[in-house]
Amino acid sequence: MGQARKRVILHEREKQPKIHGRRVASARMGQEIAHSQFSEEDFAGFRRRLEAETRLLGEWLREGRFPRRDYQSGFELEAWLVDAAMRPAPANQRFLAQLNNPLVVPELATFNIEFNATPVTLRGGAFDQAHAELGKTWRAASEVARRLDLRLAMIGILPNVAPGDLCIDNMSLMERYRALNEQVLRLREGRPLEIDIRGPEPLRMSHEDVMLEAATTSFQVHLKVPAEQAGRYFNAAKIVSAPLVAVCANSPFLFGHRLWDESRIPLFEQSVCVGGSDETLRVTFGRRYVRESIFECFEANLRRYPVLLPMRLDEPPEALAHLRLHNGTIWRWNRPLIGFDSDGAPHVRIEHRVIPSGPTRVDSIANAALFTGLTHALAQDSLPPEKLLPFSQARDNFYQAARLGLDATIVWLDGKPKAVDELLRKQLLPLAADGLMELGIDAPWRWLDPIAGRLDTGQNGAAWQRRWVERHGSDWAALTAAYLDNQDSDNPVYRWTL
């Protein structure tokens, strides 16, 4: 088919770095490709380039080619466009054209958009800065939505999304998404996706394409860390995933069924399942901790995961373009990313994909602060927590917490079961504050107080939605309208009334 130069939507508003005098495009989850039809030679050629770039990354990591720089944080916030009836509004092309902001880009469905953040150095008022920028972008976007008779919603799963909304006709006009759908179905030999979520009101259904993924909107936190310690941070991110998903849960309903407190977790895992063994699940908590180096994840990418997007890119090997594109089609709940600074130096980020979108901007930044502080504190502990908590237990904790939210009981580092809300209140919030102070964040409790409020009231986004339905009934449009009215206030969810 010949080589086609890729088009890229920047994730970090960073300048394109120079490597050997050439500009290199930044990679991110939303990276666009030039076409969606591939030949056997495309797959073989991509594989050769992937193997070469994986070897090169290994050399860089062994040789210490990643300079040690300041810790940084950024995020991606996925959101919905809804109409006056609180239904998904497939209007992101028109909306984005009018907004014309490089920080806001399309997502899988035409009723989804994604807000990106300028990375902040983790010191001083970093989270205040992130909240201020998100507020400015959100207000501008809300004004454009208002002019189009629409509203913005940041929520894990929109309560009144219907199966019929999640159809190919509502897929955004990006070749990447078409290709992903075609390749997932190819690996499934044309079999439909099967959804089976056990909860208070179990849901079983089939779906003909990957568009169910569009119902799972997230708040993805990026933490830039020293490459030589990236394995420790990756393991710590896995360990904290259980308490994070419990306290941040915001997706209790899907298609009129009450399922898990964070139903987004099983829905995403099943919506792009290519079949085969657990080893090749594209959305996964993983199989083990990193033992020595973060490079183990990229070796696993090469060894275990079939290529989905074999676009051969006109970039030098040093851009790692094929490695990064392949990594972007493996949706670990905690995913290592390779990026480049503005001077061309490579860096490692840990992308934490556990947290749902919403309920408010304040809640979102508080969630980022909690993740950052906890992960940093555990990664810097002289006794690695992965030595204390078996990986299988960390994984079990995660799914238990996603099911039951703040009512979950998990096993912590001392090997004893603990109510997750008490664990957070007594141990993890102070530990997160210590981690943030070690990074040099001013007044860390300012951004941990919204988390403490959820623990004191037992009210996160999932709990508020359940309580609203218990009082008012299953009127999904009215639930969504009440949610959005509260969201617009930017009051943290623990203060929301019914």
Give the residue carrying structure tokens 């019914």: 498
Backbone angles phi, psi at 347, to 5 degrees: -145, 165
**Dist CA 104 CA 118 (whole Å):** 12
pLDDT for 21: 34
In terms of Cα–Cα distance, which of 211, 182, 219, 166 is closest to 352? 219
pLDDT for 278: 58
Task: Supply the angle between the helices 476-489 and 461-472 in degrees, to the nearest 10.
Answer: 130
Q: Mark out the alpha helices in 225-360 (DSSP H runs).
A: 230-248, 264-271, 295-304, 321-327
Residue 458 near residue 245, CB atoms below 8 Å = no
Neighbours of 153 (CB within 10 A): 23
pLDDT for 76: 98
Q: Mark out the alpha helices in 305-444 (DSSP H runs).
A: 321-327, 361-379, 391-404, 420-423, 429-439
**Dist CA 409 CA 421 (whole Å):** 9
For residues 174-195, one letter each, b for 16 or more C-beta atoms within 10 angstroms of the residue's C-beta and e for the rest, the string is bbbbbbbbbbbbebbeeeebeb
CATH architecture entry for 18-487: 2-Layer Sandwich (3.30)
pLDDT for 464: 98
Q: DSSP state, 196? A: E
* Burial of residue 390 (number of CB atoms within 10 Å: 0-12, 13-18, 19+): middle
Q: Is the peptide bond before 359 cis (omega within 30 degrees of 0)?
A: yes
Q: Which two tokens stand for residue 339?
A: 């990026």
C-beta pairs of 186-191 under 8 Å, 24+ apart in sequence:
187/274, 187/275, 187/276, 187/306, 187/308, 188/273, 188/274, 188/275, 189/275, 191/275
Residue 82 near residue 158, CB atoms below 8 Å = yes
pLDDT for 135: 98
Residue 220 near residue 12, CB atoms below 8 Å = no
**Dist CA 480 CA 472 (whole Å):** 12
**Dist CA 307 CA 330 (whole Å):** 10
**Dist CA 320 CA 364 (whole Å):** 31
Q: Are strands 283-284 and 331-332 parallel, antiparallel or unpaired?
A: parallel
| CA-CA-CA-CA dihedral for 46, 19, 67, 15, to nearest 10 | -100
What is the radius of gyration, based on Cα positions, of the chain? 21
Q: DSSP state, 355? A: P
- 430 contact partners, CB below 8 Å, separation of at least 6: none
3-state secondary structure of 244: helix
pLDDT for 15: 34
**Dist CA 418 CA 288 (whole Å):** 23
H or E element, residue 116? strand 112-116
Residue 155 near residue 80, CB atoms below 8 Å = yes
**Dist CA 402 CA 405 (whole Å):** 6
**Dist CA 112 CA 477 (whole Å):** 18
Q: Which two tokens stand for residue 160?
A: 């009144």
Per DSSP, what are the bridge partners of residue 218? 356
What's the angle, vertex CA 304, arms to CA 301 and CA 310, rounded to 5? Answer: 65
C-beta pairs of 385-390 under 8 Å, 24+ apart in sequence:
385/235, 385/236, 385/239, 385/413, 386/235, 386/236, 386/239, 386/289, 388/413, 388/414, 388/415, 389/239, 389/413
Give the residue carrying structure tokens 């259904």: 205
**Dist CA 6 CA 340 (whole Å):** 17
In terms of Cα–Cα distance, which of 394, 497, 496, 492 is closest to 448? 492
**Dist CA 204 CA 199 (whole Å):** 11
Q: How does pLDDT run along the chain (498 residues), one tens digit per residue?
A: 333 323 222 233 333 333 333 333 333 334 555 555 789 999 999 999 999 999 999 999 999 999 999 999 999 999 999 999 999 999 999 999 999 999 999 999 999 999 999 999 999 999 999 999 999 999 999 999 999 999 999 999 999 999 999 999 999 988 888 888 999 998 888 899 999 999 999 999 999 999 999 999 999 999 999 999 999 999 999 999 999 999 999 999 999 999 999 999 999 999 998 875 555 689 999 999 999 999 999 999 999 999 999 998 999 999 999 999 999 999 999 999 999 999 999 999 999 999 999 999 999 999 999 999 999 999 999 999 999 999 999 999 999 999 999 999 999 999 999 999 999 999 999 999 999 999 999 999 999 999 999 999 999 999 999 999 999 999 999 999 999 999 999 999 999 999
3-state secondary structure of 198: coil
Neighbours of 228 (CB within 10 A): 14
pLDDT for 16: 38
